[in-house]
Each structure stands twice: as C-alpha cells, then as structure tokens.
A and B are shown apart, each in its own frame.
Chain A
Amino acid sequence: MTATPTIPPAGGDTGADNLNRRNFLKLGMGALGALVALEIGGASLFFLQPRSLSGEFGRIVSAGPADSFPPGSVTEFPDGRFFLVRAADGGFLAVYRRCTHLGCSVEWEANENRFFCPCHASSFDLHGHVENPPAPRALDTFPIQVKEGQILVNTGEGQTRDGFSPSQLVYA
C-alpha cells in the first residue's frame, strides 16, 4: 500500500470539489446512468419512429393524358388525395385536399367555383388561394411531372405555399 499524498483518505471528503474515491465512483455511476438512459431513450425513439407503410398514401400517381382535362376544370383523385386543377390558360396544379387550417378534406363546389371546407367554413378559389379564413395559407400542392403527355403527380412530397402565383402552374 503506497498511497500517494495527493489523494485524501476515502470517506474523508470535506468539499464537493474534492475528487476522492467516493466522489469519483458517484460521478462514474451518474455518467453511466445518464448514458444508459440516453441509450434506452434513443433506442425507443428509433423503435417508435414513424415511417410510411408501403402502398399507403405518398407515391407517384398517374393522372392520365394531359389532353383529357379541359382548361378551367377540376378533377378529384380520391385515392391520391388531390384535385387536379387545369387553369384557364392550360396550366396544371395538383392541390392537396387537406385544409391548411385543421386538416379536414375540402370539397370542390363547381357551382360556387370554390374549394370549401365544412369543418370551419374556409374557402379557396380554383388555384387553392384562400378566399375566406380561418385557413392561414393556400392549399398545399404536389409536384407535377409531364412525361409523354401523361400527368404524373408525386403525392409523397407536399409543398406549402402562402398564396398562388402563376409560376406554380405546370404546362404540358
């Protein structure tokens, strides 16, 4: 037993700053405990992490040939959760049916020329622009690709926007 003089005897700690054997072990236990808690917490988070199930909503939907949609028309795709809008100038817009206020499904009211949400009475124009609050922003959209005259809508990537601008339209 050759105790170095710098280490005070165990149990004789006089202050919290003193790193004697007892404090060292306490600190070690605490650090180990924190590490274990982190690991378990992290593992649980990974375990519970949401992931889209294959086959569910969120994929590329083929809407059909671009010519089949007359300008100024709105076509609902219930399985894709979107409305394919063709503006008067021929531009396309895929509008997500989820109301930006609290998530209800909007309906296209053809005679009123608007999207209407029955939950809190928000309404949107043909382009999904807010006509009547409480909706805080325009309806979300999905990216559109045109391949060989076919309209492809990627419902996996919702795009948020504050309002409508003509640059959002996609032309065939």
Chain B
Amino acid sequence: MTGKISSWKRRLLYTDAVPDDRSRMRAVANNLILHLHPTKVPAPALRWTYTWGLGGLSALLAVMLVATGVLLMFRYDASVERAYTSIQWLETQVALGSLIRALHHWSANLLVITAFLHLLRVFFTGGFKEGRSTNWAIGLILLLVVVAFNFTGYLLPWDQLAFWAITVGTSLLTYIPVVGEALTNFLLAGPEVGQGALRNFYAIHVAVLPAVLIALLSYHFWKVRKDGGISQPKLGPRERVERLTTIPHLVRIELAAAAALIAGLLLFAIFVPAPLEALADPTHPPNPAKAAWYFLGLQELLLHMHPLAAMVLAGALLLAAFFLPRWDREEGDVGIYFRSRTGRIAALIGLLLSGAFVPLLVVLDEYWLDLPSSLPEWPALVTNGLFPLLLTLGGLALIYAFLRMGLRANRSEATVGLFTFVATSLILLTLTGIFFRGPNMALVAPFLT
C-alpha cells in the first residue's frame, strides 16, 4: 500500500489503487470523472452544435441553485409577517445578499430556458429513440420538477408579484378535473394564499423538490450512460467514427462551458438585481396581474378559452409528449437534426404556420370574435371551452394530415412539423403574454408607448 504521495487533486479525483494492479478496469473504477462519463466518446458527439451543451448547463445551474439556495435559507423567514422584511434585509443589509439572491433568481429563470431548449434539442435529434424512451420520460418529469421549483420559489418573497401569481396559479389548478379542488386545498392549506400556503411552498421548495430532483437527475445521468451515451447518427456497414478519450477532450469543453456560464451569470447578477415589488396586498391585485413569465403562455391561452379547456389542451399535449417514443418509431434518422430534408421542410412549415396563425387568432379573438355573446343560449363551457378546444385540436390534426399527404412526410418527419408548430406557438403565446398584454390584459404595443 505504499505509493507516491498524492496531490490534493489526485486525492479528490482518484481512489489510490494498489500499485501492482494496473488493469484498465481499475483505472476507470477509481476515477470520479469516469464514473459520470464513459472513457471514450465519439468525436461527433463532442460537436458544440450538436448538443449546445444544454443538458450540462442545466445540471450546472441546478448545482448553482442548490449552493445559493442553501445560503438564502440562512437568511429567510417563512412567515407572512417576516418573509418580505427578511428579503428586504437580505437586499440591503446582508453582505453580498443581493448578489446571492440575484444569482439564485436568474439561475432559476435561465434553467427554465435551458431545460426547455434541451428538450427541443433532444426532440429534434431524435434523442428519445433507440431505447432512450425511458430517459425521455424522466427528462419530461424533470422539466415539470423545474417548473414546480420555480412556482414554489415564486411565492417566498411575499411581494405583490408573488402573491398574485400564486393566487392565479393555484386557482388554475382547481379546474383540473376530479383532483383539482383537493390539490389546491392541500397546497393553500386554507381558503386563500396565506401563512399555510407560504409554509407549504417553503417546505416543498427546500426539501421535497430537491430530494426528487437529486434522485431523478442521478437516474437521468446514469441512464444516459446505460443507453450508450448521447444519441448519434447510425453508421453504415463500413463507416467508422473516431473515438476520443473523455479526459481531456470532453472534460475540457465542459470546464470551458461551465466557466463561461458562471462568469456570464455573475456579471448579469451584479448589474441586474432580482426584482422585489411592494409587500403583498390581498385586497388589491396589480393591474395587469400576471403569472410568472413561463406560465404566461398558459395565461394567454386562458384569455381565449375556458380554464377547463386550456387545462385539457395542456394536459393532452403533455401526455402526447410522454407517448412520443411509442408514436415515432422510425429509427434510421436518429442523431440527425430534423430527421431529413423533408423533416426540415416540415419544421419550417410548422414554424411559418404558427407564426402566421397564432398572432392572427390572438388579434381576431381580442377584437372581433366573441362566441359566448353571439350564442348566448349556449353554455359558456361549450362556446368558450369546447369550441376553441376542438378548433385547436382540429387544427393540429389538419396540419399533421397535410404534412403526411401533401408533403409525403413519414410519421417521424410529420411529427417534427407538428412539434415545431406546438413549440413555436407556446413561445409566441408566452411572448404575447410578456410583452403585449397591458392594463386589464388588453393588447398593447410595448415598444411604441
């Protein structure tokens, strides 16, 4: 058991092996990095433009959030009387308090974006194929966990933004059939957002969700390796692909990306502190009262249809995402962005259709279309719920049918077009909610006024 005296780095990354055992297996088993990554990776998998590093950046953001979150817990009081003042204290009196909070806030917001983009990347390269369907489902659950994290964290500062976003958000949950009422009662622990809700949200935010996240994220990483690394194009019978050692090739890239992200976040957090509005006032909602920005797509949908219809639509799309690997079983096109030339055209069609129809429908519904008033003898659930829902689902079916027959796309390529349409629509609705909704939720031109 003698050996050279290890440097601290060696001791951190390796377990000292018995000197006479030089087997490769030992070297791998004793290395921390090679517990996470394979020893060698295909050279094309290292291309920046294939993964955009989105999964790794999301994981790094999760680590940043845990680190800053633990610090914040030392300075935060989860009580209605003291929550807001503890944040004010943090912002003005605690050394570097404003910076830590800004880092936490902006990392959380950025994580929603990188996790969503990671989903897009995996979808467009067919990363859910070839036995990766389980990890696709885990990834979708992780995205929901990220949103739940953001939603529960949103309430904690107890300012106007927090109070009303959570009021609107939890009211939305009551429209979920069967369980909605019970779920809202459980979350709020009372008839409205108050001390019970704050305590529940805090416990869920700092204990329940981190436990779920760590378990699922570990599984997500492990599964990537067991599924044979990230998805790559299939090789022809004679083709060979160069394989590079993980150390240093992959690790170097990861370190550079991590350093760039941390530097960027730090700079941003220094110049843009996390927002804090006036103390929550249950009698007076701000006008307009908006949910957190990542829910504004859903909130925009709510302006156009009955909440039950909006929930059914969102639920149906989410369910479709889970069952996607069962629907799209074409395996020849894995690892290729947009599957094929036809797939690229389908995606472009989806993008353009969404870009044309979503703004048009939003404006039409705002100024001209008013089914509930023109058909007063029909119940609102039909005119404002069933009709818009059927219109949307029918539209999606039409687009799919057109791509299959008009473009002669196969199932996989047509799904790319449909997915692009849905994703673009979600982004457009979110942008509308963020920028184009003013007082009384009326449409406004943000850059003119």
Q: Residues of A with Cβ closer than 8 Å to B?
A: 48, 50-53, 56-58, 78, 81, 97-98, 101-105, 107, 117-121, 133-134, 136, 158
Contact (Cβ within 8 A) A102 B167 = yes
What are 28 A-B contacts defined by CB distance under 8 Å?
A48-B186, A50-B190, A53-B195, A56-B194, A56-B195, A57-B194, A78-B283, A81-B282, A101-B171, A102-B167, A102-B168, A102-B171, A102-B302, A102-B307, A103-B171, A105-B283, A107-B284, A118-B285, A118-B439, A118-B440, A119-B441, A120-B302, A120-B441, A121-B441, A133-B372, A134-B307, A134-B384, A158-B191
Contact (Cβ within 8 A) B307 A101 = yes
* Distance to closest chain B CB from A33 (angstroms): 21
* Distance to closest chain B CB from A120 (angstroms): 5
* B192 part of interface (Cβ distance < 8 Å): yes
C-beta contact mask, B276-293 vs A, less than 8 Å → 1, else 0? Answer: 000000111111110000
Contact (Cβ within 8 A) B372 A119 = no
A67 to B189, CA, bound (A): 37
Q: Which residues of B contact A48 (CB under 8 A)?
A: 186
Q: Which residues of B contact A118 (CB under 8 A)?
A: 285-289, 439-440
A104 to B291, CA, bound (A): 12
A81 to B283, CA, bound (A): 8
A85 to B191, CA, bound (A): 22
* Distance to closest chain B CB from A102 (angstroms): 4
Q: Residues of B with Cβ closer than 8 Å to A?
A: 164, 167-168, 170-172, 185-186, 188-192, 194-196, 282-289, 302-303, 306-307, 372, 380-381, 384, 439-442
Q: Which of A52, A58, A117, A120 is within 8 Å of B303, CB to CB?
A: A120
Contact (Cβ within 8 A) A52 B190 = yes
Given A103-B167, A105-B284, A133-B380: A56 touches B289 (CB 8 Å cut-off): no
Given contacts A102-B171, A103-B168, A118-B287, 19 further A-B contacts (CB under 8 A): A48-B186, A50-B190, A50-B196, A53-B195, A53-B196, A57-B192, A101-B171, A102-B167, A102-B168, A103-B167, A103-B171, A104-B168, A105-B283, A118-B285, A118-B288, A133-B380, A134-B302, A136-B306, A158-B191
| Nearest CB in chain B to that of A118: its residue | B287
* Distance to closest chain A CB from B289 (angstroms): 4
Q: Which residues of B contact A117 (CB under 8 A)?
A: 285
* Distance to closest chain A CB from B385 (angstroms): 9
A162 to B191, CA, bound (A): 20
A136 to B289, CA, bound (A): 19
Q: Which residues of A contact B442 (CB under 8 A)?
A: 121
Q: Which residues of B contact A120 (CB under 8 A)?
A: 302-303, 441
* Distance to closest chain B CB from A74 (angstroms): 15
Q: Which residues of A contact B170 (CB under 8 A)?
A: 103
Q: Which residues of B contact A107 (CB under 8 A)?
A: 284
Contact (Cβ within 8 A) B164 A119 = yes
| Nearest CB in chain A to that of B440: its residue | A121
A102 to B286, CA, bound (A): 14
Q: Which residues of A contact B185 (CB under 8 A)?
A: 50
* Distance to closest chain A CB from B67 (angstroms): 29
Q: Which residues of B contact A97 (CB under 8 A)?
A: 283
A140 to B442, CA, bound (A): 26
A126 to B24, CA, bound (A): 81
* Distance to closest chain B CB from A135 (angstroms): 9
* Distance to closest chain A CB from B155 (angstroms): 14
A81 to B309, CA, bound (A): 29
Given A56-B190, A134-B302, A136-B306: A105 touches B196 (CB 8 Å cut-off): no
Q: Which of A50, A78, A98, A136 is within 8 Å of B380, CB to CB?
A: A136
Contact (Cβ within 8 A) A134 B381 = no
- B191, B283, B287: residue with the most chain A Cβ atoms closer than 10 Å: B191
Contact (Cβ within 8 A) A104 B188 = no
A136 to B383, CA, bound (A): 11
Q: Which of A78, A81, A136, A158 is within 8 Å of B381, CB to CB?
A: A136
A117 to B167, CA, bound (A): 13
| The 7 A-B residue pairs with the shortest CB-CB distance in the complex, in nearest-first order | A103-B171, A118-B287, A50-B189, A119-B289, A102-B171, A104-B285, A121-B440
Contact (Cβ within 8 A) B167 A104 = yes
A58 to B196, CA, bound (A): 14
A98 to B186, CA, bound (A): 19
A52 to B194, CA, bound (A): 10
